Structure 1
Amino acid sequence: MRWTLPNLLTVSRMIAAPGVAVIFLILPRPYADWVALILFVSAAITDWIDGYLARLWKQHSRFGAMLDPIADKAMVVIALATLMGLFGFNTWLIIPVSAILFREVFVSGLREYLGHAAASLKVTRLAKWKTTAQMIAIAVLFSFGIFEHNFGMNIIGMDAEIVAGIFAGEIEDEFGLVWLSNGAALAYWGGTGLLWFAAALTLLTGADYLMKAMPHLRDDPND
């Protein structure tokens, strides 16, 4: 194995995956939310950079080809598990998260069963869009905690009538409560909507892989 820059970036993404979850055990919120968001977005960007550099410098390697999809799955799965811990048993999230996790387990098991024949299950453009949609949705959902915390901190000790007056436009919004509230709503519902979209793409790619694998799964009539 050659320690090229693309391979180093892939390894760094693999290491960052558990860091997204562990940071919530080390730092209080919203600092943990900020670090998790920055860490996740940085790792997601390296997913594009390492592939681009590997093509540009012709530094493709078997190690990189093996580890890159594993790093992507680790980032997504661990981040989704972290979000479920932060949001609790939320129906709007548990359904798309379950769909995404089911597909990842199913396709991984399918590839393992097919062995060398799994080479026929090449990554499609749709699968790349799926990964991109997942990472954008997760990043948006991580930002929700930042808006929520700052809104909560700014209304501590503030009379409910004052808060109502601010939202009604009767009192000047010195602390940006309306902006923070709208940001939190946009982050939650926008991230949730993107996650449902990502889950739909995820199931489509899973069905596509299954159809491509069917010729290898049919029983030999001569057996």
Structure 2
Amino acid sequence: MLTLPNILTLSRILAVPILVFLLWPAPEPSRFDYAMAWGLYALMAITDYFDGYLARAQGTVSKLGVFLDPIADKIMIAAVILMLVFTGDVAGYATIAALIILLREIAVSGLREFLAGIQVSLPVSQLAKWKTTFQIISLGAIILGNALPDWGWIEQVGLFSLWAAAVLTLITGWDYLRVGIRHMD
């Protein structure tokens, strides 16, 4: 159970409170805090890639890893979205994109739980992997944009990517829902 891929996944979950602390608004927002948050976030995103890659390459794919990896992804994404909305770094209409992402993640998790109860698997689609990639890039760019406020284009890339992630979120959520509805009597 304590294989390197599982340790990487667990480390991502355990790093979330540190990331939230770094994003927590101080009396005056600090570029340094955002830079540290971005560094930790980037490390967490890298471990998201490598935990699955190593598990497959080493032939150590485990039930624990299959269970924890999507949870780690959702915890990380949800925590960052909540903090960026809380700090106002995601504001206005961009909050709608963030809300779409959160609602889809909750709905698909519920759908997976329901389908597991009737022993139906709902595998992750390639488009859903792209959705996750856009989510990770968008949130990372928004964090980095606050560490480097003189480079405003970075935050704009993040906000554009957030909307792209929201669109992919809607598409993949609908795809999963269509599959799930077939199994509901």
TM-score range, shorter chain: over 0.9
The structure number with the bigger radius of gyration is 1
Equivalent residues of 1:143, 1:187 under 8 A apart: yes
Stretch moving more, 80-89 or 21-30: 21-30
Counterpart contact for 1:92–1:192, Cα < 8 Å: no
Measured against aligned partners, the alpha-carbon deviations of 1:50-100 in whole angstroms (never above 9, x if no partner) come to 111101100010000000000000110001111112226722320100100
Residue of structure 2 in register with 1:21 after alignment: 20
**How many residues were matched structurally?**
183
Shift of 1:112: 2.0
* Structure 2 runs not aligned, ≥5 long: none
**What's the counterpart of residue 179 of structure 2?**
212
Structure 1 193/24 Cα, relative in aligned 2: closer, same or farther at 3 Å? closer
Matches within 5 A, 1:115-194: 115-117=116-118, 119-148=120-149, 180=150, 183-184=151-152, 186-194=153-161
Query: For residues 74-129 of structure 1, what are the alpha-carbon distances to aligned partners after superposition, in whole Å with 9 as ceiling and x for unaligned?
Result: 11000111111222672232010010011011111112222334642111111111
Equivalence for 1:11? 10
- CA RMSD in angstroms, aligned pairs only: 1.7
**Secondary structure, aligned partner of 2:131:** helix
Mapping of residues 87-126 of structure 1, within 5 Å: 87=88, 90-117=91-118, 119-126=120-127
Aligned AA (2:84): L
Which segments of structure 1 move beyond 4 Å, counting only runs of 4 or more? Answer: 25-28
User: Structure 1's 112 and 188: CA in aligned 2 closer, same or farther, altered over 3 A?
Assistant: same
Question: What does the per-residue CA deviation read over 1:146-199, in whole Å, with 9 as the maximum and x for residues that have no partner?
Answer: 222xxxxxxxxxxxxxxxxxxxxxxxxxxxxxxx2xx12x12221110000001
Distance 1:106 1:147, change over 3 A: same
Question: Under a length normalisation based on structure 2, what TM-score does the superposition of the two structures give?
Answer: 0.92
AA partner of residue 58 (structure 2): W
Shift of residue 216, structure 1, vs aligned partner: 1.1
Task: State the percentage of identical aligned residues.
Answer: 40
Secondary structure of 1:91's partner?
coil
Contact 1:140–1:187 (CA<8 Å) still a contact in 2?
A: yes
Aligned equivalents of 2:93 and 2:164: distance in 1?
12
